[in-house]
Structure 1
Amino acid sequence: MENSAESGLEARLAPRRVWPRVPAPHQVEFARQSLWPVETIADRAATLALARPDDPCLIDEAGTVSFAALWADAQALAAALRARGLLPGEVVAFQLPNWREAAVLNLACALAGLVVNPIVPIYRDAELRVMLGDCGARALFVPTLFRKVDYAAMAARVRADLPALAHVFTVRGEGPDDFAALVAAGRALPDARVAVDPMGVKMVLYTSGTTGRPKGVLHSHATLGRVIGQSAAFWGLQAGDTMLMPSPVTHVSGYANGLEMPLVVGTCTVLMESWQAQAALALIPQHHVVGTVAATPFLVELAAAARAAGETLPSLRFFACGGAAVAPEVIHQARGAFARCAPFRVFGSSEVPLVSFGWPDNQARAAQTDGRIVDYAVRIVDEAGNDLPDGAEGEILARGPAMMIGYADAAETAAAIDAQGFFRTGDLGVRDADGAITVTGRKKDLIIRGGENISATEIEQVLATHPAVADCAVVAMPHARLGEGVCAFVVARAAVKTSELAAHVAASGLARQKIPERFEMVEALPRTAAGKIRKDQLRAQIAAIIQAEQDQPQDRQQD
């Protein structure tokens, strides 16, 4: 894609984002205790390229990429980006599928001291414009065409409104501004590696935005290195092990465990461009995959495919899942499908990656809780911010050396982190005496029916046990007398009457007030790129339906 000299000049004159270069106030104590790794992924990649040059680092449909090949391509790309005028501290965004080029670009940016801005491919003009504009991105890498979407054309449209965006580069396209051409040109250019402060900003990642405008989460080499090292140790990952990565590498889970884990731990990542249970069933034994971190529906589908094929996948040791409510039955059923794989729930977010790392050695605890708290101090607080005892439900606050530096917006950082340095997650949960945490819902998911607090998650877990329910979400709906009522959106795998579903909830022993007063049968639930259900959309949807019914009264028969 052509980049004019005029647009490049405008970009250089446009104001640059200035990112913090010292620990944030909530991180000073961690710095004093030397809890962070002192190497960047570029430092580690250089070591691996020398010590294990021919060992596999990445595997995809095109074949295997060794540590030496990844290092060489990243060096070349870093040099090419420097030649195009990109300077340390500037932001390079990429909206790419799970392609090997994303790994090369990520390492190249680390070499050149550039800040990466991963953007999930499902986003379109509006989201792209907000994110790129907010972080002041100077360059953007996109596919030319992927799944019938013309990303190059979209980037051109967005670029017209973003004077700071000096370059749009394509991947798997043609011309001098394509990834392959940049790497080829960079092989003849001087080394662009610079000294990089591990504490400086290395990534700005925008939240999924389930409740409003996305926030830019800032992480450093140190914070990401910390969570990757801790999770690998907890899960027993070692150099030479192979991980499967079907989660988007532009989401924090896929990014950390797919792109960065090989360079931090020395593992190998098998990249899946898109999730297909049958494909995973073949890839896992072929490459002796030991584990993965992915959305809960992937676990359900893989277990079903394994049962149907009579495969037990003996190499698979663990499957970490989360991002949405996980019914205990899901864990038990999946465990029974595999020879030795321990499926478990984990809890975390872009701001506080992996507060809990699961419970791989205890199936009962893995099914009933979201895992053991590791490397974080956790507080459970009431509405007034007072600490609650173990066993009491409240908002989960977390503080640890892997938490974000802050948001791109300082005001949002101040609102999200309390005076003690704890991040307000917005999630409700319970901690027990064993140091396990169980997420019970979101603060905004609470349904306040006639003054009573009702947990949506509790109802969802019961509905999920009905054989006809494939997926479900419970939200508050307007109620003329009680303020809020209970509405369940259900994706059915078989014909079922709503009266049957109501009876199923009633038979579980839940209080009568928790039986959904209304069921909406839908084909699919809206989700974010991270797999979280867009309950804000569901609340708006049911409110609009009820308003329309009030405007035009008519009999409504659900069954």
Structure 2
Amino acid sequence: MFDLGRGFLATVERRPHAVAISDGRTHKTYAQWYADIQSVAHHLRRLGLEKGDRLVISMHNRWQMATLYWACQFAGIIATPVNWRSTTLDIRYYLKNSGAKGIAHDDAAAEAVQACVEAHQVLRIVVGDVTPPGAIAFDSLLGRTGETLLMATPDDYSMMLYTSGTTGRPKGVPRRHRVERAATAAYVAQNLYRHDETMLGVMPLYHATGVRALQAMAMVDGRFVCIPKFEPEATLQAIERERVTSLNLVPTLYHMLLEAPGFAPHRVASIDKIGFAGAPMSAGLIARVEAAFQPSLFVNQYGCSELYALTVDQHANHKPGSSGRAALNQRLRVVKIGATSPEMCVSPGAEGEVIADMSGDEAFEGYWECPEADGKALRDGWYFTGDTGYFDDDGDLFVTGRVDDLINSGGENISPLEIENVLSLHPQVEEVAVVGLPDDKWGQVVTAFIKARSDVDERELGRYCLDAGLTRFKCPRGYRFIEELPKSPVGKVLRRMLRVPSTATPDVQGAPSRQADATMG
């Protein structure tokens, strides 16, 4: 099997004059970009980074970050991309936890890095107009020629992603070259990508979906269109200018595109394939996306940083809520909540925890220096995802949330996703998130947080839920109307913030609160 560097080189040799990457007005062919990548790889070695060292990268999606990523693959360095919104404490944690010997950043992370003492003790590479004392300008790494550098093998580590840290400190997920390449090959096959594909690179490159798009375009000789920071109008302009053929976003970003003042179907007419991942897409949003884009392929991929694609549904618009069936490199089970063994499976239709076979070609082997997390998640050769779901009678998986998100009201376990799907179809509901809030009588009460398009009465929403067939005990007992739902940098709704007492007081009588909480934006 090729390592990632050799795979990229094969593409350069096949189609050297094809456009490989664009970033605003910057366009580079595979031959031009390869020269830059090799130059940077040689310089990283000259600056003291050796095979197996970690390089933390905190940048927007830009051609320089993509270049550093590929340079690491050729030099045998472990690329360690992290959120460009990281604080000084975050940067300190990533550097110390990974044992990185260098950090590369742009203006987005400059203030946090500058205030981090540990960042001044390692190699520091900067993209920007100003290079601080002691740092090295990225542009100075360009222009070198020399023999091809190919330091990695398929069994070497390629990169390390960090989990989002929603349940504690982020955990490092080291990934080998062969695992990355297998995951990308499956991604290409499952999304039906072609040699002339043009992919919008809007998902951050510290996120599994972003990296997968970058690798996939290189594998099929396609073009990766950098979007440094998601802004609806700039994104629409890039789609028009570059004739983008494929989108793969989290549902929130589709919602933001459709709601943008400048959105019009003719502006996205080049889009042929639609994909989403990272969170379920409500039935209401699926209908809107299908009507606006009219894609030939509508793919839902459910996965995680640890094992990547777990399921794929290439007809996501035909069965809203379904995540499809096991991906090409995966086997799945649903076991009882709290199960201690992968043999404790539940029947079709019964909700439980989703677990995945660790023998799959895309699987990691354990967290970076975190045996406690390994002990919790890895059991008898299976990875316990912490996600809840069930198989329907057709064998399709429905992911219903996180184990921690289940609402226990009056002894009944209730999934928020089912309720959200119903409410999302109401014409006055723009976005909705459902959580369980503490209650002395019921334990938890089902509460819907709603971003409304215009005023809507909570009694009307209650009737709507019942008319849609939602069981009475699942219907929200309280409604909270807010201006924005709290979200992570990649667009996932942060339910835990909705449970904070200072921002969410349960209204078990059903009287609505229309006071928007500014801390939730």
Same fold (TM over 0.5): yes
1:305-360 deviation per Cα after TM superposition (whole angstroms, max 9, x unaligned): 69963528453222111322311232223222234443332211111212122224
The sequence identity of aligned pairs, in percent, is: 28
Task: State the alpha-carbon separation in 2 of the partners of residues 262 and 558 from structure 1.
Answer: 47
Match of 1:216 in 2: 172
Residue 411 (structure 1) aligned with residue 366 (structure 2): no
Question: Within the alignment, does 1:387 sit opposite 2:345 as a pair?
Answer: yes
Question: What are the within-5 Å matches in structure 2 for residues 242-257 of structure 1?
Answer: 242-257=198-213
Residues 191-244 of structure 1: CA distance to partner in whole angstroms, max 9, x if unpaired? 582431212221111111222211111111111211211121122112222111
Query: Which residue matches 1:20?
Result: none
Specify the alignment match of 2:159 in structure 1: 203
Larger deviation, residues 349-358 vs 449-458: 349-358
Determine helix, strand or coil for the equivalent of 2:493: coil
1:237 correspondence with 2:193: yes
Letter in 2 for 1:79: H
Q: 3-state DSSP class of the match of 1:237? A: coil
Distance 1:498 1:363 in 2: 29
Contact 1:290 1:317 in 2 (8 A): yes
2:59 counterpart (85, 96, 99): 96
Mapping of 1:101-250 within 5 angstroms? 101-143=64-106, 145-146=107-108, 151-158=109-116, 160-161=117-118, 165-175=121-131, 177-184=136-143, 187=144, 191=147, 193-250=149-206
Q: What do residues 70-117 of structure 1 show as CA deviations (whole Å, max 9, x unaligned)?
A: 111111111111111111111001111110001110111111110011
Structure 1-normalised TM-score? Answer: 0.83
Confirm or deny: 8 A CA contact 2:199 2:223 kept in the other structure.
yes
Q: Please name the residue that 2:308 is paired with.
A: 353
**Map of 2:276 onto structure 1:** 321
Once the 2 structures are TM-superposed, how far is the Cα of residue 134 of structure 1 from its aligned partner? 0.8
Q: CA deviation at 1:392?
A: 2.4
- Contact (CA 8 Å) 1:477, 1:542: kept in 2 or not? no
1:231-281 Cα shifts (integer Å, max 9, x gaps): 211221122221112111221101111x21222222211112233444444
Counterpart in the other structure of 2:475: 515
Moved more, 112-121 or 297-306: 297-306
2:324 pairs with one of 364, 367, 371: 371
Task: Provide the rounded CA distance (Å) in 2 between the counterparts of 1:84 and 1:72.
Answer: 18
Q: Is the 8 A contact 1:346 1:354 kept in 2?
A: yes
**Does the residue aligned with 1:274 lie in a helix, a strand or coil?**
coil
**3-state SS in 2 of match to 1:490:** strand
Asked if residue 397 in structure 1 is aligned to residue 338 in structure 2, the reply is no
Q: Offset at 1:373?
A: 1.9
Structure 1: gaps of 5 or more residues: 1-37, 550-555
Task: Report whether the alignment pairs 1:298 with 2:253.
Answer: yes
Residue type matched to 1:195 in 2?
M
Equivalent pairs, count: 501
Verify: 1:85 aligned to 2:67, yes or no: no
Provide the C-alpha distance between the structure 1 equivalents of 2:467 and 2:377, rounded to a whole number of angstroms. Answer: 40
Distance 1:377 1:433 in 2: 17
**What do the CA deviations read for 1:361-381 (whole angstroms, capped 9, x no partner)?**
x7413x241123222100111
Q: d(CA) in 1 for partners of 2:383 and 2:263?
A: 43
CA displacement at 1:510 relative to structure 2: 1.6
Separation of aligned partners in 1, 2:503 and 2:289: 36
Q: Which residue does 2:297 correspond to in 1?
A: 342
Contact 2:6 2:150 in 1 (8 A): no
For residues 444-490 of structure 1, what are the alpha-carbon distances to aligned partners after superposition, in whole Å with 9 as ceiling and x for unaligned? 11111121111111111122122222222111111112221122222
Cα distance in 2 for residues equivalent to 1:335 and 1:307: 18
- Say which SS state the counterpart of residue 347 (structure 1) adopts: strand
Distance 2:393 2:225 in 1: 38
Contact 1:335 1:342 in 2 (8 A): no
RMSD of aligned Cα (Å): 2.6
Secondary structure of the corresponding residue to residue 540 of structure 1 = coil
1:288 aligns to what? 243
Pairing partner for 2:221 from 256, 261, 266: 266
Greater CA drift, 493-502 or 464-473:
493-502
**Higher mean C-alpha displacement, 239-248 vs 534-543:** 534-543
* Larger relative contact order, structure 1 or 2 (CA cutoff 8 Å, min sep 6): 1
- Residue 509 of structure 1 deviates from its aligned partner by 2.5
Equivalent residue, structure 1, for 2:518:
none
**Using the alignment, how far apart are the partners of 1:107 and 1:100 within structure 2?**
11
Aligned partner of 1:66 among 14, 26, 29: 29
- 1:537 is matched with which residue? 497
Write the deviation string for residues 376-397 of structure 1: whole angstroms up to 9, x where unpaired.
1001111334112333221111
- 3-state SS of paired residue (2:499): helix
Displacement of 1:180:
0.3
**Distance in structure 2 (CA, Å) of the matches to 1:557 and 1:232:** 47
CA shift in 2, pair 1:538/1:263, >3 Å: same
TM-score (norm: length of structure 2):
0.89
Distance in 2 separating the partners of 1:477 and 1:304: 30
Give yes or no for the alignment of 1:525 onto 2:481: no
Q: Secondary structure at the match of 2:364?
A: coil
After superposition, what is the alpha-carbon deviation per residue over 1:516-558, rounded to whole angstroms, capped at 9, x for unaligned?
Answer: 2222222222222232222222222468747xx9xxxxxx874
Mapped contact 2:197–2:217 kept (Cα < 8 A): no
Seen in structure 2, the aligned counterparts of structure 1 residues 369 and 542 have a Cα distance that, compared at 3 Å, is: farther
Letter in 1 for 2:305: S
Offset, 1:135 = 0.7
**Secondary structure of 2:239's aligned partner:** helix
